[in-house]
């Protein structure tokens, strides 16, 4: 049995640990969304949720980068991951910018790895709470506990890689992306029994794990770990089983229709968990004793790793695809895969330094003294911070303009606001083909056909689609430019080889 007097049972305190580390805030969202999902979406539309990803997600990426690259000692310790693995991912990304197949494989790797990464973090925190409370868990019991999280991930993997599946477990939409998720295409008649067997194994492992944990400690010692097991079910197991059986899918957190929206909130929960741990670690080791300056630095560093690839590989620079045509999805894939690799290397509870801080609540010896940066990093850091600030501001402008300058202005038929949004989005590297098509429609409605044609041509320059070419053909036809109209419709047919013909009316 655990000793109830074991010191440092919590990281920050029971309330914050249960809400942030054990997923209490996500549980509140889940319950609210069961009964008021549409009201929540009206208050916080999906187009604005990337603001939350910026506020919570960028520091979460930045915290890992600081952990690996800020100190020469850590760069040496994690040299393979910090240098060679990072260069491999960068090469994969650059090739993917120009090769759709390579980019799609990187996207597929990202979407398959996301639930594993989230599950691994849940298991790590669950184990951390047991260690801090002095619960002595045998190796077989640890393996069974870990299996509950791994089997939950396998359920997700089976779901997304089943042929003709539309399931997604990431905060990403791909309707206009030239990159595509490439599922393994497991036949449904094979996937279905595998899901049943995995579900049975998952439920059995939960029952055994709870029994073994109860033998090792009292309920008060193990309930944070049980909360993490429940959180894993809310994030992955329950949605997968609901969608596989079509039971409960009328509730938004469990259904398919708003799966991308729901996963944003899961991502927020994951980001919050990560920052909750890293702030504690930074304070305990003396590298950053004040939370807000540390989070601000992590925000800028995390924003930089998103902003630099966008600046380099936007169509106006060395790229060939606009942000919403796939560049954004490709950057997300590369940044996240890089984060997954680094994160897996640096947060191992069997590492003596990590164990001293997270399991025993002790400072890592010599950490603060070793935190003094070399001269080269002092010189580079201002440039990284500046790039992060520009990226963060660009993100804010982009998110704001897509919601208020594009979506809402289009609903209000506010042409001038749409044009303003187009200019501002171009400034921050997020010009959108659909926005120019919308402007063209309003120009054509008001009889400004030359302006409408220019806007459609801009749309095609950003992303070539059959719909845009058909609109261009219609506009040329209205102006009596029959050859130009015919050429536009021919191009539309080339982009729609599986359709009988593109309409030319």
Return the domain boundaries, the chain: 14-372, 399-495
- Rounded CA separation 3/63 (Å): 33
Closest to 159 measured CA to CA, from 135, 183, 141, 142:
183
pLDDT digits (tens, 9 = 90+) for 373-415: 544 455 678 888 899 999 999 999 999 999 999 999 999 999 9
Is the domain spanning 399-495 CATH 2.40.10.120? The answer is no
pLDDT at 501: 40
Read off the tokens for 208: 């055994």
Summarised one tens digit per residue, pLDDT across range 86-134 is 999 999 999 999 999 999 999 999 999 999 999 999 999 999 999 999 9
Query: pLDDT by residue (tens digit) across 311-370?
Result: 999 888 898 888 888 999 999 999 999 999 999 888 876 666 776 777 666 665 555 544
166 burial via Cβ count (<10 Å: 0-12, 13-18, 19+): exposed
Residues 430 and 307 sit within 8 Å (Cβ to Cβ)? no
Inform me whether the pLDDT recorded for 499 exceeds 60.
no
Question: CA–CA separation, 328 vs 96, rounded Å?
Answer: 12
pLDDT: is 48 or 74 the higher one? Answer: 48
Concatenated DSSP letters of 172-235 = ---TT-S-------B-HHHHHHHHHHHHHHHHHHHHHHHHHHHHHS-HHHHHHHHHHHHHHIII
- Band (pLDDT 50/70/90 cuts) for residue 73 is confident
463: pLDDT confidence band, cut at 50, 70 and 90?
Answer: confident
C-alpha 308/C-alpha 306 separation (Å) is 6
For 195-217, what is each residue's pLDDT tens digit?
999 999 999 999 999 999 999 99
* Pair 179, 103: CB distance under 8 Å: yes
Q: For residues 7, 11, 16 and 22, what is the CA-based torsion angle, rounded to 10 degrees?
A: -100
Given a cut of 90, whether residue 485 has pLDDT beyond it is yes
Between 375 and 33, name the one with better pLDDT. Answer: 33
Q: Which residue has the higher pLDDT, 126 or 255?
A: 126
Cα separations in angstroms, 253 against 27, 196, 298, 462: 11, 22, 30, 34
**Residue 324 vs residues 61, 299, 321, 420, 456: alpha-carbon distances, Å:** 22, 23, 8, 18, 16
Q: Which pLDDT does position 77 carry in this prediction?
A: 87
Phi first, then psi, for residue 477 (nearest 5°) are -65, -40
pLDDT of 362: 61
Please enumerate in sequence order all residues whose Cβ is within 8 A of that of 216, keeping only pairs 6 or more positions apart, or say none: 1, 2, 130, 135, 136, 137, 138, 141, 222
Mean pLDDT of the chain: 88
- Averaged pLDDT for residues 151-155: 97
For residue 2, the model assigns a pLDDT of: 43
Q: Is 4 a residue whose pLDDT tops 70?
A: no
Across 484-503, average pLDDT: 75
């Amino acid at each position: 049995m655990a000793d109830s007097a074991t010191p440092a049972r919590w990281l920050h305190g029971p309330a914050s640990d249960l809400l942030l580390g054990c997923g209490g805030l996500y549980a509140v969202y889940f319950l609210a969304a069961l009964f008021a999902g549409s009201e929540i979406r009206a208050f916080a539309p999906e187009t604005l949720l990337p603001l939350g990803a910026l506020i919570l997600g960028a520091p979460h990426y930045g915290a890992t980068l600081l952990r690996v690259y800020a100190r020469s000692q850590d760069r040496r310790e994690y040299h393979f991951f910090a240098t060679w693995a990072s260069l491999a991912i960068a090469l994969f990304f650059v090739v993917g910018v120009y090769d759709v197949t390579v980019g799609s494989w990187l996207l597929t790797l990202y979407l398959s790895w996301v639930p594993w990464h989230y599950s691994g973090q849940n298991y790590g925190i669950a184990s951390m709470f047991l260690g801090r409370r002095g619960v002595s868990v045998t190796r077989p019991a640890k393996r069974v506990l870990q299996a509950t999280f791994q089997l939950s991930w396998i359920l997700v993997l089976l779901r997304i890689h089943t042929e003709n599946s539309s399931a997604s477990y990431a905060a990403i939409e791909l309707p206009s992306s030239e990159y595509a998720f490439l599922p393994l295409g497991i036949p449904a008649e094979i996937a279905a029994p595998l899901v049943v067997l995995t579900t049975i194994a998952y439920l059995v492992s939960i029952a055994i794990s709870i029994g073994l944990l109860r033998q090792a400690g009292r309920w008060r010692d193990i309930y944070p770990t049980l909360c993490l097991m429940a959180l894993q079910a809310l994030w992955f197991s329950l949605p997968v089983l609901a969608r596989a059986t079509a039971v409960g899918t009328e509730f938004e957190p469990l259904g398919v229709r708003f799966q991308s929206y729901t996963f944003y909130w899961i991502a927020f929960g994951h980001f919050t968990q990560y920052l909750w741990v890293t702030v504690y670690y930074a304070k305990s080791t003396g590298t950053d004793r004040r939370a807000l300056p540390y989070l601000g630095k992590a925000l800028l560093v995390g924003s930089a790793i998103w902003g630099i690839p966008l600046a380099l590989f936007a169509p106006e620079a060395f790229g060939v695809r606009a942000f919403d045509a796939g560049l954004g999805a490709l950057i997300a894939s590369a940044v996240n895969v890089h984060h997954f690799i680094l994160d897996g290397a640096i947060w191992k509870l069997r590492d003596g330094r990590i164990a001293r801080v997270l399991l025993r609540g002790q400072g890592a010896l010599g950490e603060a003294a070793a935190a003094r940066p070399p001269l080269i990093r002092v010189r580079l850091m201002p440039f990284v911070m500046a790039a992060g600030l520009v990226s963060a501001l660009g993100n804010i402008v982009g998110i704001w303009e897509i919601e208020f300058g594009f979506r809402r202005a289009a609903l209000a038929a506010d042409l001038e606001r749409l044009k303003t949004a187009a200019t501002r989005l171009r400034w921050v590297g997020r010009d959108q083909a659909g926005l120019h098509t919308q402007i063209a429609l309003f120009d054509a409605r008001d009889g400004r056909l030359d302006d409408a044609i220019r806007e459609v041509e801009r749309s095609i320059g950003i992303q070539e689609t059959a719909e845009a070419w058909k609109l261009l053909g219609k506009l040329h036809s209205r102006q009596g430019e029959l050859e130009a109209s015919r050429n536009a419709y021919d191009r539309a047919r080339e982009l729609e080889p599986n359709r009988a013909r593109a309409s030319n009316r």
